[in-house]
């Protein structure tokens, strides 16, 4: 019984912590971002004079020797997927671990989806997609997903975004809005993102920590890679080492952002310098303004 009460308390705490984002995102901005062109293919029918010629299905028309157009229906609900990186590198953090921040961000987006009566699903990955829960509507689904996140023990430490997303794209059966929450400390994952973007709305939420861009001055110390366990003795007091470390981290962040810009995928960058609800609210508002 104590385990259940502890879980309910954690869920309640998450609901309180995420209140600012859920209340702060105007429904108009949220709906406009995803539902503005919210139409889904339904069927083909014979062409009627006055129909938009852009909707003509030339393949079907050729088979029937008559003009046919594609019919679409408006999507009344969104299919939301939260895809979380639970590899070892997300345990890093000074004020708060990146993992804790990931949970809070994910829970916020879940309660936002619940508020808007959207379907909700979950993916958990490390060097592979370890867990996948198909989307459903309702509070019971939300509670199931939060329980899974709180109790889940990752099977692997390292990260492979390419492999994980390649598996994910084969599991999604209908058009979805996909939030991928990670520190993106992995290489060469543009290709599966391009494939996902063909059929889905993809948003990357980059959970980083300001301290990762700097190295604390503590003299000689071992730096350990959280995912591989490899250790390296370095002199953190060295100005040249501090500069080199900062430049490498800065370059990595810039490369990530530039790669995503090239393929047209939004990346929301969160840090410990600003509350995440402010950053994400600003994203929705800016996207809403661009559409209106």
C-alpha distances (whole Å) from 1 to each of 5, 6, 7 are 6, 9, 10
Q: Report the helix count and the strand count for the chain, using DSSP H and E.
A: 10, 10
What pLDDT does residue 32 have? Answer: 57
pLDDT for 276 equals 84
Write the CB contacts of 61 (distance below 8 Å, at least 6 apart in sequence). 47, 67, 68
Do 201 and 210 touch, CB atoms closer than 8 A? Answer: no
Residues 287, 246: Cα–Cα separation, whole Å:
31
Strands (E), the chain: 39-46, 68-74, 79-85, 119-125, 129-136, 177-182, 201-207, 220-224, 231-235, 266-270
The C-alpha atoms of residue 273 and residue 278 are separated, in whole angstroms, by: 11
Question: Positive or negative CA dihedral for 31, 36, 42, 48?
Answer: positive
Q: How far apart are CA 98 and CA 182, in angstroms?
A: 9
Q: Are 131 and 152 in contact (CB under 8 A)?
A: yes
Of residues 140, 148, 149, 105, the one with CA closest to residue 119? 140
List the pLDDT tens digit at each of the 292 positions of the chain.
Answer: 345 456 556 666 656 655 666 666 655 556 656 654 445 555 678 888 877 888 888 998 998 888 988 866 445 578 899 999 998 776 654 456 788 888 888 988 888 888 888 899 999 999 999 999 999 989 899 989 988 988 899 998 888 899 999 999 899 988 889 999 998 877 778 889 999 998 898 999 998 765 566 666 666 665 655 456 566 777 777 788 778 877 877 787 788 788 888 899 999 988 767 888 888 888 888 876 665 5
How far apart CA 206 and CA 186 sit, in angstroms, is: 12
pTM over 0.75: no
């Amino acid at each position: 019984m104590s385990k259940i009460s502890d879980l309910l308390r954690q869920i309640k705490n998450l609901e309180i912590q995420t209140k600012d984002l859920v209340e702060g995102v105007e429904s108009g901005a949220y709906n406009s971002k995803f539902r503005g062109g919210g139409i889904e293919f339904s069927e083909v029918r014979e062409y009627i004079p006055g129909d938009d010629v852009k909707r003509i299905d030339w393949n079907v028309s050729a088979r029937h020797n008559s003009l046919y157009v594609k019919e679409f229906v408006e999507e009344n609900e969104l299919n939301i997927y939260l895809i979380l990186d639970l590899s070892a590198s997300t345990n890093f953090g000074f004020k708060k671990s990146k993992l804790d921040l990931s949970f809070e961000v994910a829970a916020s987006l879940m309660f936002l989806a619940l508020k808007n009566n959207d379907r909700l699903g979950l993916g958990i990955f490390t060097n592979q997609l370890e867990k996948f829960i198909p989307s459903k509507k309702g509070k019971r689904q939300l509670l199931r997903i939060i329980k899974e996140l709180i109790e889940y023990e990752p099977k692997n430490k390292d990260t492979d975004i390419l492999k994980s997303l390649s598996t994910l794209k084969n599991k999604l059966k209908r058009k979805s809005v996909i939030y991928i929450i990670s520190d993106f400390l992995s290489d060469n994952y543009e290709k599966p993102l391009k494939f996902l973007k063909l059929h889905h709305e993809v948003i990357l939420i980059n959970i980083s920590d300001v301290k990762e861009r700097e190295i604390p001055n503590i003299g000689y110390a071992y730096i350990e890679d959280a995912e591989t366990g490899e250790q390296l003795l370095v002199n953190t007091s060295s100005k040249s080492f501090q500069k080199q470390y900062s430049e490498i981290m800065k370059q990595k962040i810039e490369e990530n952002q530039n790669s995503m810009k090239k393929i047209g995928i939004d990346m929301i960058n969160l840090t410990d310098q600003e509350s995440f609800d402010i950053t994400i609210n600003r994203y929705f508002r800016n996207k809403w303004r661009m559409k209106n």
